């Protein structure tokens, strides 16, 4: 049973969440280079000093956001049934961020779209996104190796399967962003996995 968090920790999480939301929306609306830390702090109703207690820079807000996304994908994969095909487990795992973007109020989906466009359209943030995805690939490969009894250090399949699933995820995300949300991201993800599923479920010979 998970113990209740303290009031101080609850307050800290609330402030971090408010800062993250304020920063991402301001950055998405005005552009990464146009927004200052002072503006983010003011929008969140905190001081600049408080901002720096939580984040090293405005770029760090995005990095931590992406780290949380990766943790959600990994947790989702770890929670899938052990006997499930690799393709199905990975599809469910990488769908989690897409569902978070779209499976809520339309206003939330519009805000999520702007954040995705910010990350994919800002070279520095796209570089961090790709950097984070490389870390996600390693974590997912370790989880796949554990589930299938493979050795992630010597067996190619876990790392290739994890990387392929993440490319499918990124492709669906990019297409959703480019279409201005005219296309359904879950349908795009299903189409992508329709292409890669045979490789994901293949066994090494």
Domains and their CATH numbers in the chain: 1-55 (1.10.10.60), 58-198 (1.10.357.10)
Residue carrying structure tokens 């994890």: 162
Residue 201 in tokens: 């479920």
pLDDT in tens, 25-74: 999 999 999 999 999 999 988 999 999 999 999 999 999 999 999 999 99
Residue 203 is classified by DSSP as P
Q: Where are the alpha helices (DSSP H) in 149-184?
A: 156-178
> How far is it, in rounded angstroms, from Cα 180 to Cα 177?
5
pLDDT in tens, 102-129: 765 667 788 889 999 999 999 999 999 9
pLDDT confidence tier of residue 166, bands split at 50, 70 and 90: very high
Contact residues for 68 (Cβ-Cβ < 8 A; gap 6+):
none
> How far is it, in rounded angstroms, from Cα 60 to Cα 77?
26
pLDDT of residue 2: 46
pLDDT of residue 116: 93
> How far is it, in rounded angstroms, from Cα 108 to Cα 91?
23
Residue 88 in tokens: 């199905």
pTM of the entire predicted model: 0.88
pLDDT of residue 158: 94
Average pLDDT, the chain: 90
Q: Is the pLDDT of residue 137 over 90?
A: yes
Q: Is the pLDDT of residue 20 over 80?
A: yes
């Amino acid at each position: 049973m998970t113990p209740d968090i303290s009031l101080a920790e609850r307050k800290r999480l609330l402030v971090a969440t408010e800062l993250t939301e304020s920063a991402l929306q301001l950055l998405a609306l005005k552009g990464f280079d146009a927004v200052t830390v002072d503006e983010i702090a003011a929008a969140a109703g905190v001081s600049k000093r408080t901002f720096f207690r939580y984040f090293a820079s405005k770029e760090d807000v995005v990095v931590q956001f992406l780290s949380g996304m990766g943790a959600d994908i990994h947790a989702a994969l770890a929670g899938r049934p052990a006997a499930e095909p690799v393709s199905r487990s990975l599809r469910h795992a990488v769908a989690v961020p897409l569902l978070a973007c779209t499976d809520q109020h339309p206003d939330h989906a519009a805000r999520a779209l702007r954040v995705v466009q910010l990350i994919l359209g800002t070279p520095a943030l796209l570089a961090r996104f790709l950097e984070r995805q490389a870390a996600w690939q390693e974590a997912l490969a370790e989880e796949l190796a554990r589930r299938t009894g493979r050795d992630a250090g010597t067996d190619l399949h876990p790392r290739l399967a994890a990387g392929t699933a993440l490319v499918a995820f990124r492709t669906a995300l990019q297409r959703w962003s480019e279409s201005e949300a005219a296309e359904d991201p879950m349908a795009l993800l299903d189409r992508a996995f329709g292409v890669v599923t045979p490789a994901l479920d293949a066994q090494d010979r």
